[in-house]
Amino acid sequence: MAKTNYVITISRQFGSGGRLIGKKLAESLEIPFYDKELITMAAQQSGYSKEIFEKADERATNSLLYTLSMNSYLLHGMTGMAELPLNDKVFLIQSEIIRKVASEGPCVIVGRCADYVLKEHPRCLNFYIYADLQSRVERATTVYDMEKEHAADNIQKLDKKRANYYNFYSNLRWGLAENYDLCVNSASIGVDSTVEVLKSFIERKENVSSK
């Protein structure tokens, strides 16, 4: 199996290797990979600095204006964003970029509520990568140079941030199995085997869809 006709989203717990799995999957399928690249693209399109997007990345607001302004945005496009807080503008701009790259063809997109943003996309597969805390601590300390003493607490805080971001903007629950096509414990079989599992799932989905 080389390429696919699906857009693939990867949601992941911190330290589960989800980003690396997504990158290796994209390389194996010979399709584009998007993670931090979305920040650069959003900055270029919007005129905001890249630093603004990095600071707001996967952070939810508690804005009461969000719900009110979203309807205006949906009705009037980007002009409806004027009264939104910055984090909400960042989310909406990134969502436009996600929809744009998905419309251009198969790709792998990591994080940023991509599964929710693309919920109307006719050919989208959503994967969730998780692992036990000890395995994630080991990865965080060896790969990301996180201090072991505080690693577990930091990982849980980062996961909570991601969950709050996802729950806020999607009104769904981050990590809930029913929101994804497949959930995989990467610590059980390793990064490379997880990639193979995802590839096998995609291939089987392709076969079912073609019948």
Q: In what order do the strands lie in the sheet with 33-34?
A: 33-34, 107-110, 7-12, 124-130, 182-185
Is the pLDDT assigned to residue 72 strictly greater than 60? no
Residue-level pLDDT at 59: 56
Residue-level pLDDT at 71: 41
> In this structure, are residues 180 and 127 in contact, taking their beta carbons and an 8 Å threshold?
yes
Residue-level pLDDT at 43: 78
Burial class (CB in 10 A: 0-12, 13-18, 19+), 204: exposed
Residue-level pLDDT at 166: 92
Joined tokens for residue 52: 């603004």
> pTM here?
0.84
> In this structure, are residues 29 and 2 in contact, taking their beta carbons and an 8 Å threshold?
yes
Beta bridge partners of 7: 107, 124
Span 14-66, pLDDT tens digits: 999 999 999 999 999 999 999 988 878 877 877 777 676 666 655 555 543 44
Banded pLDDT at 211 (limits 50, 70, 90): low
> Exposed e or buried b for every residue in 31-67, given b needs 16+ CB within 10 A?
bebbbeebbebbbeebebeeebbeebbbebbebeebe
Residue-averaged pLDDT of the chain: 85
Residue-level pLDDT at 32: 96
Report d(CA 198, CA 128) in Å as an integer. 10
Span 162-178, pLDDT tens digits: 999 899 888 889 999 99
Span 79-112, pLDDT tens digits: 455 556 777 878 888 899 999 999 999 999 999 9
